Chain A
Amino acid sequence: MVFGGFINWLRNLFGSKRNISLGIYGCTNVGKTTLANKIALDFTGETVGKASPIPHETRFVQKKEKVDIKNDGKKLSINILDMPGLETKIDYRKFLKYGMSRATAKERAKEATQGVVEAIKWLSNVDTVLAVMDSTRDPLTQVNITLLGNLEARKIPVILVANKTDLKNSRPNQIKEAFPQYPFVSVSALKGENMDQLYDAIIKHARKSK
């Protein structure tokens, strides 16, 4: 429909949504759910989901709505959206190593593929994104590059979060150097280190909802 986009823009401009949808994106096992839980625990006393060392523990979008983030006298109301990990491949055989039966592993792999599709679809509905990366791993993966390119194309504000800084081989600076154009915070969601800086960055960079 001609001018459909313009009409949507006008509709969004005069919309009355109040909370900012904060999408937590990244590859599998970078600590997205641990981070979502830490944010939710700090401000609501409740968690968002179960974190696990087994890949694809989060296979559906997990939400915690109306979380009021406060830091340094400033406040922001957000909906936390903890996304399934993004991957270009999911092999059910990987889950067999964790003691799962073949049938369970296949089912988990199937759900995981659906989770990735769901996470990608949600890119149209998030206002701001925390792009979480494991600071012990190489950040220059195609998934990270594609994710950041998409957010840029959609003009969605993004904050890079280098997680797992409590680990000995953590090198958060390599993330900063790989993607110098984005706001950057390094944290340990597990230990709760540097979370104030993250809250400050969210309040500063989050876009008012569409």
Chain B
Amino acid sequence: MRLKLDFISSDNLDGKSEDKKINFILKKVRDGSILVMDGVMKPEEEMNLIKETMRRVDNGFPGIEICSLKKELKGMKLFFDRVSERRERLWSWLTNAPTETSLKGGITLIGPAKIIKKIKKNPDSFSVITEV
């Protein structure tokens, strides 16, 4: 049996709308790939990923396993990150429009639940058990 890992850089997903990003991820995962992405999704995006996953669950695709580690920003980087986030939220709030987002620092793993049997997460690491 083969296990396929796709490593995706944040450049590949940055600037994509949320729908496109979710479609991209779910297509790869449904095809049996485990994605390792540079960056973490926003909580709202991740919740929408779960929602869309549920819509696509069928007898052959029971869903996904997901785990991410967010890079903790400090000092000026944290300050500018927060300013940028608030600007995005203010615009979204004023216009009722969804924000086009970029992935935040960190790492995310998303794979088919059929293959990934368990993810054990610690605050700064995680291990993945697969069965193929």
**Does A pair with B?**
yes
Does the CB pair A91–B96 fall under 8 Å? no
B68: nearest chain-A partner, CB-CB? A142
Segment 132-156 of A: residues with Cβ below 8 Å from B:
138, 140-143, 145-150, 152-153
A114: nearest chain-B partner, CB-CB? B54
Does the CB pair A113–B93 fall under 8 Å? no
Judge if B121 is at the interface, Cβ distance under 8 Å. yes
Task: Count residues of chain B with CB under 8 A from any CB of chain A.
Answer: 31
Residues of B within 8 Å of A121, CB to CB, are 51
Taken residue by residue from 87 to 126, chain A's Cβ proximity to chain B (1 for < 8 Å, 0 otherwise) reads as 1111110000000000000100100011011001101000
Task: Take A1-B95, A113-B54 as given contacts and tell me if A88 and B65 are in contact as well, using a CB distance cutoff of 8 Å.
Answer: yes
Judge if A14 is at the interface, Cβ distance under 8 Å. no
Does the CB pair B51–A5 fall under 8 Å? no
Separation of A133 and B43 alpha carbons in the complex (Å): 19
Judge if B50 is at the interface, Cβ distance under 8 Å. yes
Does the CB pair B93–A142 fall under 8 Å? no
Segment 1-15 of A: residues with Cβ below 8 Å from B:
1-6, 8-9
Task: Take A6-B94, A90-B62, A141-B121 as given contacts and tell me if A146 and B54 are in contact as well, using a CB distance cutoff of 8 Å.
Answer: no
Judge if B42 is at the interface, Cβ distance under 8 Å. yes
Residues of A within 8 Å of B95, CB to CB, are 1-5
Does the CB pair A89–B47 fall under 8 Å? no
Residues of B within 8 Å of A90, CB to CB, are 54, 57, 62-63
Residues of B within 8 Å of A120, CB to CB, are 47-48, 50-51
> Which 9 pairs between the two chains have the least Cβ-Cβ distance?
A149-B43, A89-B63, A89-B113, A91-B62, A4-B96, A5-B93, A113-B54, A150-B43, A116-B54
Residues of A within 8 Å of B44, CB to CB, are 150, 153
**Chain A, interface residues (CB within 8 Å), range:** 35 or more
Q: 14 more A-B contacts (CB under 8 A) besides A141-B121, A142-B68? A: A1-B95, A6-B94, A87-B63, A113-B57, A120-B48, A120-B51, A123-B47, A140-B123, A142-B67, A142-B121, A146-B50, A150-B47, A152-B43, A153-B44
Judge if B9 is at the interface, Cβ distance under 8 Å. no
Residues of A within 8 Å of B119, CB to CB, are 142
Separation of A140 and B119 alpha carbons in the complex (Å): 10
Separation of A13 and B109 alpha carbons in the complex (Å): 41
Most buried by B among A89, A138, A146: A89
Judge if B46 is at the interface, Cβ distance under 8 Å. yes
Judge if B12 is at the interface, Cβ distance under 8 Å. no
Judge if B33 is at the interface, Cβ distance under 8 Å. no
